[in-house]
Every structure is written in C-alpha cells, then in structure tokens.
Chain A
Amino acid sequence: MKKLVFLFFFLISSVVYADNGIHIAVATNFFATLKVLAKDFTQQTGIKISISNGSTGMLYAQIKRGAPFDMFFAGDSERPELLEQQGLIEKNSRFTYAIGKLVVWSTNKQLSADLSKLDLKNKNLLFVAIANPKTAPYGVAAVAVLKHYGLYQQLQHDNKIAYGENIGATFHYIASGNAQIGLIAKSYLFNASSTAKSDKIMQGEVVEVAKNLYPPLTQQAVILKGKNSAEIKQFLQFFHSKKIKNIINSHGYGVG
C-alpha cells in the first residue's frame, strides 16, 4: 500500500507544466488565425507559444482566478477593459488587434443570403443559426442585423432561431445542414475554406453585412499583470508588423 501511495504521488508530480515560452489565452474565433501566426513566430525566433482557446467569458473568469496565461486575446473589448479596471493587466498594454466582420451564409439554394430578400415563409427555412447574444458578441451583432431587416420578432415567435454556444458551434449548425442559413464570423468561413468542408462553402452563398448595421466587433488583447517579458516584447513587435496585419486581414478581420 505504501508503495502504491508513493507511486501515485510520483506519477502525479511528473506532469508539471513546462513554464517556458509564451502562453496565450485566445477567444475561439481568433484561435485558428493565432495558431498560424504563432507557428510563423516560433519558426522565426525559436520561442514556443502555447495556446489555450475558450470562450471570452470563461477565459476571463479563469484569469481572474490566477490562470497561468501571459496574454489574453479576447473576443470583445469589454473583458480586457474590465481586467484593466481591476488592475490585472500591465499598464497601457491593451490594444485592438482585430475587428470582426459579420457575414450571412446560406447553404440552401432556395434561401437568399441577402437578408432583404429572405422570405420567412419559404418551406426550406427550418432554422436560422446565430451565436448566443448572451455570451457572444457575434450573437449581439446578429440580433441587431435581424432586427434591422425586420426578421427577428417573427423568427423568434416561430422558434426558428438556433443559438450556438459560440461562433464555432453556430458555424457547425449551418455546415452540417441543421440550420439552412445563419450569421457568423467571416473569419470562420475563411478557416473553413482551407479544410475538407470547403466544397459545401462553395455551394453556399455568402454576403457580408454592412458594418453600420451592427455594433463594432472590436477584439482587444492585453498583457496580464507581471507577465511582461523580453519574449512578449519580441512577439508584439512581430505581431504589429505589416505582414501580420495582412494575414489577419486575409483571415476575414478588419485591422485597427
């Protein structure tokens, strides 16, 4: 028994988090893009970047409780501002790294991705997928757009809105055909077009929503308190280059 207990503690202590390189927490919608950038950075400098993805709200709660992240790339500007007010970030480290763009994506030929032409009585329309406005800024934007076109009340009344837990789930609702049309992040479609699902995207119709129809999807990043280092400085220098801005832009984001 004693041996077992010893073995147990030996094994449990063997997995210790290797604390080198940079550790970044990222909102799911920027996860794929950040992965690409991080790979580039590691190739150039040899500095490793470890990425943890999750919803902005969850990551915020974890950071407040001492999660071992160095930087936080949030899906909004609200949470970075809150962290700043609470004194949990390095002074003046908050910056806008991307501005999200909303698109309407329809995979059904009978349904127009131009919302001004969308007929709610069309039999092919079973569900419109949007992100949950309570947890995702893209959901708030989607609701604003549906309201602008006078579709929101009727859809809600008919229980035809499927709420994705985040923008990724919303994407999968549409990609899998369970929802025939939906409002998602443009960046998500970019990522999808580089995978096996691309055939489906090509079939579908995508229309970018005019920026003035929804509150801006400003995404901000911060360096967490006490985590500034030479590596982070190097990473930020890399991040703010023209080349990276072009990559972020090509991934479906506006650049601040």
Chain B
Amino acid sequence: MLADLSLQPLWITLQVALYTTLILMVIGTPLALWLARIKGKKKAVFEALIALPLVLPPTVLGFYLLLILSPDGALGQVWQAFGFAPLTFSMTGLVIGSVIYSLPFAVQPLMSGFELLGKRPLEAASALGAKPIDRFFSIILPLTRRHYLVAFTLAFAHTMGEFGVILMIGGNIPGATQVASIAIYSHVEAMEYTQAHVLSAILLVMSFVVLSIVYGLNRKLSR
C-alpha cells in the first residue's frame, strides 16, 4: 500500500520553510524598521508594494518568477554571469520564490511592532552612547520579541503550505524540488490516496510540533 511513499518531500519542505523564514527575518528587519520610520504617501506606496504578493495568485506569481529567474530572464542572466548554477528548478530558486511570496507575512508584523515601540527608547539608548547594532540587540529585539514570533510563525507556516509558486519554479522534481504539498497533490493525481493521507497527516503533525516549540520558547522568553 505504502510502496510509493517517500518522506523526502517533508525534509525538502522543512528546509525551504526554515531558510525562507531565516532570510525573511534578516531582510525583513531593516525593511520593517525603514517602513516604520517613513510617513505619508511614500509609506503608503511601499506598504502597498510589500503587500502585492498577497494579490497575485501563487501560480501567476510563480509564472512571472519562472520568466525572471530563467537563464534567459533578467535576474537569471545576471546570476549566471557570476557563474552560479541556474536558479529555476533548484532549492535556491524555491527559497527565492518563497521569500517573495511570504514577504508580507514577515514584514507587516515586524513593522507594527517597530511602530508601537516608537523612537523614544532608541533615542534614550543613543544618548547613553549605544551603537546601532547594540541598540538593536539590547532594545529593539527584546521589546518586539512577540512581533518577531508572529512574523516567524506566519512566514514559516505560510511557506510550509506553499504550492503554486513552488510548482511553477520548482518543476515538481522528486528528490530536489518536490515539496510535501506538491507530493500530496501528485499522489492524489495518481489516485494513491493512502500515500496522500499519510503524507498530509505527517505534514500537519510536523508543522504542529514546530509551531508548538516556537510558541513554547516564547513563553520561556517572556518569563
């Protein structure tokens, strides 16, 4: 019954979700800090820009990424000029696609956290002689810890369940770019329902465990 069941898609999913979330935390922080500081029309325009991945259907977003990242595409050409392997149909491509796809889920909670924090704690620290990096790790990060948690879990969960973008730019290649959601879909297409159910159950339990650990960690940290 379970002859054709491979667990590798779960491992690939976990890797994509983890890399994507870590990258989003790193690039989302300065972006959100900047967005929290600007005002007026400029802010509205950039906030809208960040939210755009929410508007496009994933397969459509995936299609445009396929065009841009392909060896003939704008980004793909530059990338390969540096001698790197092609971006499409690779783990790197999946992570780039997922970063764009999940960007609003990471940036928006962080931005609202930084807005709530305001300028005053930072000005005080600055007056006491704290350097920017120091200010970030000793003031911003601890005070916006909950917002980081929300950003992390949303970006992670959103990437775990990603489908359309990854199907387009990944090419559904078993062992390389076939993530769990796509493997489940393929099992359904081949009418291997048992395999589909087992994989779905493991995906749910795995996501539940990871999210529980993250929430648990937050409780510990807030004590």
A61 touches B66 (CB 8 A): yes
B64-80 contacts to A (CB < 8 Å): 66-67, 70-73
Does B86 lie at the interface of the complex (its beta carbon under 8 Å from any beta carbon of A)?
yes
Q: Assess the A65–B176 pair: CB atoms within 8 A.
A: no
As a 0/1 sequence over residues 187 to 202 of chain B, the CB contacts with chain A under 8 angstroms (1 = contact) are 0111111100000000
Considering the chains assembled together, what is the distance between the CA atoms of A203 and B177 in angstroms?
39
The residue that A168 contacts in the complex, of B177, B188, B194, with Cβ under 8 A, is B188
Chain B residue, CB-CB nearest to A19: B176
Is there an interface contact between A54 and B63, defined as CB atoms closer than 8 Å? no
- Per CB-CB distance, the 4 closest pairs between chain A and chain B, nearest first, are A65-B70, A17-B176, A52-B172, A32-B190
Interface flag for B186 (CB, 8 Å): yes
Q: Which residues of A contact B (CB under 8 A)?
A: 8, 11-12, 15-18, 23, 25, 28, 31-32, 35, 50-54, 58, 61-62, 65-69, 168, 172, 191-192, 194-197
Q: Is the interface of A mostly helix, strand, loop or mixed?
A: mixed
B189 touches A8 (CB 8 A): no
Task: Report the Cα distance A51→B189, complex, angstroms.
Answer: 13
Known: A11-B15, A32-B189, A58-B168. 8 other contacts (CB 8 A): A11-B19, A17-B173, A35-B190, A50-B174, A61-B66, A66-B89, A168-B189, A195-B191
Chain A residues whose C-beta falls within 8 Å of the C-beta of B112 in the assembled complex: none
Known: A8-B19, A191-B190. A61 touches B63 (CB 8 A): yes
**Interface pairs (15), CB distance under 8 Å:** A11-B19, A12-B19, A12-B92, A12-B95, A15-B15, A17-B89, A17-B90, A18-B175, A23-B173, A35-B4, A52-B178, A62-B89, A65-B66, A194-B191, A195-B193
Q: Does B167 contact A (CB under 8 A)?
A: yes
Chain B 52-68, CB within 8 Å of chain A: the 1/0 string? 00000000000100110
Contacts of A32 in B (CB 8 A): 189-191
Say yes or no: A53-B172 contact (C-beta < 8 A), given A66-B86, A196-B193: yes
Among B15, B88, B188, B191, residue most surrounded by chain A Cβ atoms (within 10 Å):
B191
CB distance from B30 to the nearest CB of A (A): 15
* A16 cross-chain contacts in B, Cβ below 8 A: 176
Instruction: Say whether B171 faces chain A, with CB atoms less than 8 Å apart.
Output: yes
Partner of B89, one of A68, A191, A194, A197: A68
Cβ–Cβ < 8 Å partners of A12 in chain B: 15, 19, 91-92, 95
**Chain A residues positioned under 8 Å from B193 (CB to CB):** 195-197
**A66 and B71 contacting across the interface, CB-CB below 8 Å:** yes
Chain B, residues 95-130, CB within 8 Å of chain A (1/0): the string is 100000000000000000000000000000000000
Are A31 and B22 within 8 A (Cβ)?
A: no
CA distance A39 to B15 in the complex (A): 29
Q: Is the CB of A191 within 8 A of B173?
A: no
Query: Among the interface residues A16, A17, A69, A195, which one has the most CB atoms of the partner chain B within 10 A?
Result: A17
Q: Identify the closest chain A residue to B174 (Cβ).
A: A50
**In the complex with contacts A8-B22, A61-B63, A66-B70 CB distance below 8 A:** yes
Judging by beta carbons under 8 Å apart, are B173 and A52 in contact? Answer: yes
Is B12 in contact with chain A by the CB < 8 A criterion?
yes
- Nearest residue (CB) in A for B22 is A8
- In the bound complex, do residue A197 and residue B22 qualify as a contact, i.e. CB atoms below 8 Å apart? no
The distance from the CB of B10 to the nearest CB of chain A, in whole angstroms, is: 13
Of the residues B95, B177, B189, B191, contact of A197 by C-beta under 8 Å: B191
Task: Please give me the residue from chain B that is nearest to A36 by CB atom.
Answer: B190
Q: B78 CB to closest chain A CB, in angstroms?
A: 16
Q: Which residue of A lies closest to B73 (CB)?
A: A65
